[in-house]
Amino acid sequence: MGVDYYDILKLTRSATDADIKKNYRKLSLKYHPDRNPGDQDASDKFKQCAEAYDVLSDPRKRATYDQFGEEGLKNGVPQGSGEAGAWTQGYTFHGNSEKVFRDFFGGDNPFQEFYDRVDGDLSMGFGGLQGRGRKKQDPPIERDLVLSLEEVFHGCTKKMKITRRVMNEDGHTSSIREKILTITVKKGWKPGTKITFPEEGDQGPNNVPADIVFIVKDKPHPRFRRQGINLIHTAKVPLGKSLTGCTVEIITLDERVLHIPINDIIKPGYTKIVPGEGMPISADPKKKGDLVIEFDIEFPTSLTPDRKDLIKKALLN
């Protein structure tokens, strides 16, 4: 079959795109001429790896190669039926193995990966100069992801628009572009939960872009606040009902109406717990925390003499 591109990259024919990239990355670093000065065998293998990657990383070239071998790939294959049918254009490797290498690693400094492991050993850098050209990553960029309790209760999808500087194809100039990042909010995510988008910050010729990190923050809610996996609700109760009993009506985050009977005397610090009516637990959304009802006793601003007498008789006798 001629040249075996799979063997050159130490792959099987069932290799995935990720396998192809992984092995080319490893072997191109291993055989790069800057790491093997004067070694013609390494230089030849570097070129072979570049051609093999150029073919196998392209779905059309790979499909032709898999079916017709090197000869069919490079000479072309029939597109139609019979001798008069059209033939595909044959493949010729452009011969620039350094371009394949630079395009693969990106940027105008392909040697940013000095410290990658090659054959299990830590590479000391091209030409023996440890760390030269190694890019440093910018610090993470943190942004608040403000969510309503309903969004965390049900789960949702948030699309966040960012503006960042992106390097142009020439590797030297840049432009400002917008990008939409999609966040799938899981039920029960707690405040402080971090969602990281690796290397989505500004690009530059001599830096690794910063990670963008979104941090969950609760939006104030008119009826509830969170405390761990529990929901806290403050019910306003007139003084008379706090002493004689009442029913508290609460609209839940999923729009149900709860009628909670209160038969105890409501004293300062008294709470009523309703099991299973809190926030979903992110690890197991079928389970929920509790609803904790706190009370704000409303005292009358004034009393008539008759009412004062009635209260005295009821409470002091």
Same fold: 5-128 with 225-316: no
Answer whether residue 108 shows pLDDT above 70. no
Amino acid 70: pLDDT: 85
Q: Are 27 and 119 in contact (CB under 8 A)?
A: no
Tokens of 151: 């969004």
Question: What confidence category does residue 264 fall into, taking pLDDT thresholds of 50, 70 and 90?
Answer: very high
Q: Residue ranges of the domains in the chain? A: 5-128, 137-218, 225-316
Give whole-number Cα distances, 278 to 141, 185, 261, 270, in Å.
32, 18, 18, 18
| Amino acid at the residue 236 | K
Overall average pLDDT of the 183-212 stretch: 90
Amino acid 279: pLDDT: 96
Tokens of 245: 């009993």
Give whole-number Cα distances, 103 to 23, 106, 260, in Å.
16, 5, 66
Query: How does pLDDT run across 159-171, given as a tens digit for each residue?
Result: 999 998 888 877 7
Amino acid 86: pLDDT: 57
Among the residues of the chain, which ranges form H helices? 5-8, 17-31, 40-56, 59-75, 97-105, 149-154, 239-244, 305-316
Overall average pLDDT of the 33-43 stretch: 87
Give the chain's count of helices (H) and strands (E). 8, 17
Amino acid 88: pLDDT: 67
Q: Please give the mean pLDDT across all residues of the chain.
A: 84
Tokens of 317: 């006798």
30-44, 51-65, 95-109: range with lowest mean pLDDT: 95-109
Query: How does pLDDT run across 64-74, given as a tens digit for each residue?
Result: 888 888 888 88
Query: How does pLDDT run across 110-139, given as a tens digit for each residue?
Result: 554 443 444 444 344 444 434 444 668 888
Residue among 206, 209, 215, 210 nearest 183 (CA): 215
Q: Could you give the CA distance from residue 278 to residue 239 in angstroms, rounded to a whole number? A: 27
The CATH architecture to which 5-128 belongs is Orthogonal Bundle (1.10)
Question: Domain 225-316 class?
Answer: mainly beta
Overall average pLDDT of the 83-96 stretch: 71
Statement: 137-218 belongs to CATH 3.40.50.450: no
Amino acid 290: pLDDT: 97
Residue among 71, 199, 86, 52 nearest 138 (CA): 199
Residue among 202, 183, 179 nearest 193 (CA): 183
Answer whether residue 36 shows pLDDT above 50. yes
Q: Are 217 and 277 in contact (CB under 8 A)?
A: no
Tokens of 36: 């093997």
As to burial, measured by CB atoms within 10 angstroms (0-12 exposed, 13-18 middle, 19+ buried), residue 158 is middle
Amino acid 23: pLDDT: 92
